[in-house]
């Protein structure tokens, strides 16, 4: 029997190293990558882009696809986008406002490979 660390369906997966050169194929295909400004105005709208498969394309077919992408500021839930196979790509944009400074983090769920977490993106509020 696999330990939780060996079982991709136990807990949340994330590569040890943020450098894509150090990631294995599964990590490259599944780790969500956040693109957002380094600094924003407190309470003002800005865009956060989340892409799954940035370092290596993830399949997008009926038997294997990304089911949803969620965004958090620290432990505060910001939003969730549900996806379908073939018709939507796991490359989404959230429009958000922040009143408090917390690292932004994204989660995605693959129907075959479990839940994956991005590295944290720090956004400074002015």
Query: Which class for 92: exposed (0-12), middle (13-18), buried (19 or more C-beta within 10 A)?
Result: buried
Residues 6+ away with beta carbon under 8 Å from 68: 80, 81, 82, 83, 108, 109
Which of the ranges 11-19, 71-79, 96-104, 107-115 carries the binding residues for Fe ion, by CB under 5 A?
Answer: 107-115
Nearer to Fe ion, 105 or 110 (CB): 110
Nearer to Fe ion, 9 or 122 (CB): 9
Nearer to Fe ion, 96 or 110 (CB): 110
**Residues 75, 68: Cα–Cα separation, whole Å:** 18
Minimal distance in Å, beta carbon 83 to Fe ion? 12
Contact call for residue 110 and Fe ion (CB under 5 A): yes
Under the rule (CB under 5 A), what is the footprint of Fe ion? 110, 112-113
């Amino acid at each position: 029997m696999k330990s939780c660390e060996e079982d991709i369906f136990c807990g949340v997966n994330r590569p040890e190293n943020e450098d894509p050169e150090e990631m294995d194929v599964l990590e490259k295909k599944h780790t969500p990558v956040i693109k957002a400004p380094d600094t924003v105005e407190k309470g003002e709208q800005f865009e956060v882009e989340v892409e799954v498969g940035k370092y290596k394309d993830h399949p997008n077919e009926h038997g294997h696809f990304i089911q949803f992408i969620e965004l958090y500021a620290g432990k505060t839930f910001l939003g969730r986008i549900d996806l379908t196979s073939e018709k939507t790509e796991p490359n989404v944009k959230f429009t958000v406002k922040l009143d408090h400074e917390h690292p932004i983090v994204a989660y995605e769920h693959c129907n075959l490979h479990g839940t994956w977490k991005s590295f944290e993106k720090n956004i400074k509020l002015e």
